[in-house]
Amino acid sequence: MVEARSIRGRAMRSRENAGRLYVCPTPIGNLEDITIRVLRMLREVDLVAAEDTRVTGKLLTHFDISKPLVSYREYGEERRIEGILSELASGRSIALVSDAGTPGLSDPGHKLIKAAIENGFEIEVLPGPSAVITALVASGLPTDSFVYQGFLPRKSGERRRLLTELLESGRTVVLYEAPHRILALLKELSDIGGERRVVVARELTKRFEEVIRGSAQEIIERLGERPRGEMVVVIDRGKPRRKEVTPDELATEVERFIRAGVSKKDAISRVSKNLNQPKRAVYEAAKGIKAKL
């Protein structure tokens, strides 16, 4: 954590005079995706804090914005963050921008956001582009419940353990991966997840945008030997695991439905569906049960 007690003291004492940190998402490819509000904010703030001043400099030039830029990343990160907090304390408003997408999501913007909050500064997050949501929606896989993991750890043991855990989560999984490691990830996925549906969303919003769907093995074949571009991997939640249910429990459930007036055939179907058990097993368990009870 950036320890900046005197900065924090000043921010607390004169909060109304302290500047705000505006978290400003930028396009993940297509420059038309910048929002009107982000453009206004970039024009209005006193200073822009960037992950890489060259990348953000180009973006600002494209939109004809001229603003002092400071990096929160390059050499001596902690001191740079402290410097930015001092600017906030002295009443200057700052836009936080990363190289692409929403700052703070799998990029170093998170450290500055955390430090600003811990030191009592107000932050305001502007909504905007992010690869995770764009890929998730493009995947067509269930969106009601998903796990965003960002980049997996590099160490193979840790990586495999986490991947196995994610595949058992019962949720759609969203991962970021670099192009030179994508084939290894898909191979691991094929070993652990087998035929599970996978979607690789490549170069989103860019000219060569591509959404590839299939099993991990099928996608490996589609990508070829040297895949290029930025990629997000979205993995289907898979079928929920079948819980162990005894024949007696199945029979009791079927009986319950029959007593409630449901036909034996429908009762078997409902139990099979509700308990995620093969119809055949429920049928066998219910053999001795009368059609009317």
Binding site for ligand SAM (CB under 6 A): 28-29, 98, 100-102, 105-107, 130-132, 176-178, 201, 203-206, 230-232
Q: Among residues 51 and 253, whose Cβ is nearest to ligand SAM?
A: 51
CB of 37 to ligand SAM, least distance (A): 17
Q: Among residues 205 and 217, whose Cβ is nearest to ligand SAM?
A: 205
Closest residue by beta carbon to ligand SAM: 101
Long-range contacts of 103-109 (CB under 8 A, 24+ apart): 103/23, 103/24, 103/25, 103/51, 104/23, 105/130, 105/132, 105/150, 106/150, 106/151, 106/176, 107/51, 108/51, 108/72, 108/73, 108/77, 109/23, 109/51, 109/72
Tell me how far apart the alpha carbons of residues 271 and 255 are, in angstroms, rounded to a whole number.
Answer: 10
CB of 141 to ligand SAM, least distance (A): 16
CB of 120 to ligand SAM, least distance (A): 25
CB of 180 to ligand SAM, least distance (A): 11
Q: Among residues 11 and 48, whose Cβ is nearest to ligand SAM?
A: 48
**Residue 160 buriedness (CB in 10 A; 0-12 / 13-18 / 19+):** middle
Q: Which two tokens stand for residue 104?
A: 């703070």
CB of 44 to ligand SAM, least distance (A): 23
Which residue from 105, 106, 173 is spatially nearest to 145, judged by alpha carbons?
A: 173
Q: Among residues 33 and 122, whose Cβ is nearest to ligand SAM?
A: 33
Q: Among residues 116 and 199, whose Cβ is nearest to ligand SAM?
A: 199
Give φ, ψ of 175 to 5 degrees: -125, 150
